[in-house]
Chain A
Amino acid sequence: MEKAKISTKQLFALVVLFEMGSAILVGFPKNLKQDAWIANLLGMAEGILLFFVYYRLYLFYPNLPLTGYLQKIIGKWPGRILGFFYIVYFAYLSARVLRDFGELLSSTIYTRTPIFFLMTLLMLTIAYAIQKGFEVLARVSELFFVIVYIMAISGFILIISSGLIHLENLKPMVENGWKPIIKTSLKETLTFPFGEMVVFTMLLPYVHLSKKVKTVCISGMILSGINITIAAVINIATLGVDLFTRSSYPLLTTISKIQLLHFIERLEVLFMLYLMIGGFIKVALFYYVAVAGTASLFKFKDLRKINLPIGILILLTAMIIAPYYSEHIVEGLDIVPIYLHWPFQIILPCILLVIAFIRNHKKTAKEPAP
């Protein structure tokens, strides 16, 4: 593990930016039509419950990352193997998010630039940040947090003042009953983005004030959840159900509708700025965790030596993950949540928690507290 300490403010900025990252672009369950935002809100609530699992694990081993305490909980070798799978999982997610952003850029603005080139540039930026260490990443996120918030608020004001919001688009609420909403929230909005908090099991040991971790993480999740919900509501209200379900990037479509005073228009630039920042933090955290996990598992003292190889691996994975965008999205919606997110985010941590609980219970039973 790297010798880094981050403050609670930095943790908060990281959580918020990470959660909002790509979810605010593609994280709306479109099959629910006008009720998509409810699923987002539900996903947040479920995500917070899930976070308590990670938090309990963290409380058992406050100085160890996930790859470290896996070996303590289920034994050295099984723990290492499972840790390796986690690393692959993180690296794969990093590649997925990278691909998301690459596709977005190449399908909207850079239609003639090869996607590989775009992703390489983004990846170089992130690799540079990771080379500088986690503390730098945390500091950068703090700056970006402010920028994102200024942009979000100004965007919000612009959308409202250009009179685009038609709240009647949200009606009728819960048209088909609660069942599909709950089902979708468990399948999609819980695992993406709130279940991805599993990344922080690797990062929480860096936090300076461990007492505040719970409040900071949960408030960060709530804030980002509310933001995503607001984004969903605005998208539906502005675009209407039909356009909302058909557009691949609803937020981009919404923003391009802003027109004010015949002068403030074409604000895709703002959107791209957000895209870069959100994408940066999200890919960077997955990527960093993969690097840090590898380092702790294979006992590398210097993270920086394995940074570039893993970065290239992620970049290549992002390239070969899917031949074209629609397959990438179908994979992301149908396969990844069930076969990857659920086991790695929910089932395994729960099992781990149970084992850890029993183990620690035994220990305390054997050695009663003085």
Chain B
Amino acid sequence: MSIISKMLKKKQKQRKNDNYRQKLDPSDPGELLIHRAYQENLARIKEELGNSSDLVSKEIKIGNIHGAIVFIEGLTESKVISNFILESVMQTGEIPLGVDYYQYMLDKTVALGSTKTITNWNDLYDSLLNGDTIIFLEGYNKAISGGTAGGEKRAVSEPSQQLSIRGPRDSFTEMLRTNTALIRRRIKSPNLWTESMKIGTVTQTDIAIMYIKGIADDKIIQEVKKRLNRINMDTVLDSGYIEQLIEEQTYTSFPTTYHSERPDVVSSQLLEGRIAIVADGSPFVLTVPAIFIQFFQAPDDYYSRFDLSSALRLLRIIAFFIALVGPSLYIAGTTFHQEMIPTTLAIAIAAQRENVPFPAFFEAMIMEVTFEILREAGLRLPKSVGQAVSIVGALVIGQAAVQAGIVSPVMVIVVSITAIANFSTPVYAMAVSARLLRFVLMVLASFVGFFGIMVGLMIMVIHLCSLRSFGVPYMEPLAPFSRKNLQDVFIRYPLWAMKNRPMHISEGNMVRTGEHQKPGPPTQSNKDTSQSKKGNQQ
């Protein structure tokens, strides 16, 4: 492992050098300044962007001075440019003498909400490539950048992965600002802080770190910033890139950061003291630190009543377990521990397996791999051919496979149960880990049956206990055990009983719910209600 990490480090170093070469050389400050002659500037932009066809530059005359506007088509809102820049420029008459043209332009002509002055080329490219419009004026070594970012974007739609019966129906889009707005719309507190940075030496992706000051732990915030700042990579195309670079441990199949496409989920995470990382271009928002049990908490759990949601959560955990050990239990049971299966069932299974030529392990392996192929193919195939996959799938995993004598009917049932159980984990990243580990357990079960499964599970538990996410033990609050934090683990307590924020994550401001929140029949005395109001205000 150490050799691999050394090699990786070497590679990273090399890449670091390459990246710096691509950036403008900051050693010569003269190179970075904007030229007084606007035509020089135009020529330079054209040259440096390789005369790209989506670059639009237009020479203009404002009153009595010359200038030019430059923007990139597609990134900008063309209506805004024509209405608020071009139109007003055309209408500007003679500019009175003795007035600073630049200031006049900034104050009177450009009727945009956000404008800023740019003096060097790095900033210029930043705003230009973000969709702003640049206005040069003859004789000034600075430029106006008008906020005209816009262009085509996907509308806020229903979530496609993390569905719920009850609860809000919006989901994040690819636009950073839309996403942060969706969160802010839910938490109207001045304490919700947003910090921005750019990651990706070439892609220059905007990243926003969001947290609630006073609830999130400062140490974790610092750690998040430190890890984000450390990233030196050319590309960030999705929050998945960031996730992989800020994880505590790479060599694990369990996700140590949480991601969601639902603003309500991210908001609730923020309110628990977690920190959200929003990346431009990704509809998935990361939240850290993540703990194991969090991946079994579905949004519905909080919107519906506690009894049902607790039962469903237990069901989900059991389903995860089934998805993990289903086929390996079948292998162990049929090859090693026939005596542990009830006799009638054992005879039935033996009769069915009579015609199957393979040992149980191969039988299970064939079916599981087939199913995984089907699943992957179903995901990748164009929608128009999707129908074909489901028909073929029903043939491959079904009666035909049994009749062909390749697998036994019990195996088909085992595979189907495993598959269905696997889909009940609310977060895909966690479901995937069960999917992978299932095969390891199958191999172990084929060697030493139940003992092998136990060894596999124990190693898994040890591994889980050794994981940390931003310093928080992954198995919190089970190991290290803390009774106070059990409010939201296997059983979701009634909302009025979830008094505190999770203690291992949040810092300070622990109280969540006021006193006397337990609802009940109307009481005679007014004392109770006045007290509860007081609690609320606190």
Contacts and interface: CB of A to CB of B under 8 A. Distances in A.
Are chains A and B native binding partners rather than an unrelated pairing?
A: yes
A257 interface: no
A266 B454 contact: no
B462 interface: yes
A320 interface: no
Contacts of A109: 336-337, 449-451
Interface in A1-34: 7, 9-10
Interface in A119-155: 121-122, 124-125, 128-129, 132-133, 136, 139-140, 142-144, 146
A268 interface: yes
Contacts of B449: 109-110
Q: Is the interface of B mostly helix, strand, loop or mixed?
A: helix
B24 interface: no
Contact of B450 (A117, A142, A269): A269
A118 interface: yes
Nearest to A143: B479
A149 to B, nearest CB: 12
B465 A110 contact: no
Contact of B342 (A10, A132, A143, A263): A263
Contact of A121 (B336, B337, B448, B462): B448
Contacts of A265: 342
A140 B479 contact: yes
Contact of B480 (A128, A142, A268): A142
A305 B462 CA distance: 19
Interface in B451-467: 451-452, 454-455, 458-459, 461-463, 465-466
A133 B473 CA distance: 14
A105 B478 contact: no
Nearest to B462: A129
Most B CB contacts (10 A, CB to CB) among A143, A146, A277 go to: A143
Most A CB contacts (10 A, CB to CB) among B336, B342, B455 go to: B455
Nearest to A269: B340
Contacts of A122: 455
Contacts of B137: none
B44 to A, nearest CB: 57
The 5 closest A-B pairs by CB, nearest first: A139-B479, A132-B466, A139-B465, A142-B479, A136-B466
A333 B248 CA distance: 48
Interface residues of B, number: 25
Nearest to A263: B342
B466 A266 contact: no
Contacts of A338: none
B475 A280 contact: no
B342 to A, nearest CB: 7
Contacts of A160: none
A142 B478 contact: yes
A308 to B, nearest CB: 14
Given A105-B451, A109-B337, A110-B448, A9 B462 contact: no
Contacts of B339: 266
B455 A125 contact: yes
A360 interface: no
Contacts of A280: 458
A143 B489 CA distance: 14
B358 to A, nearest CB: 21
A136 B481 contact: no
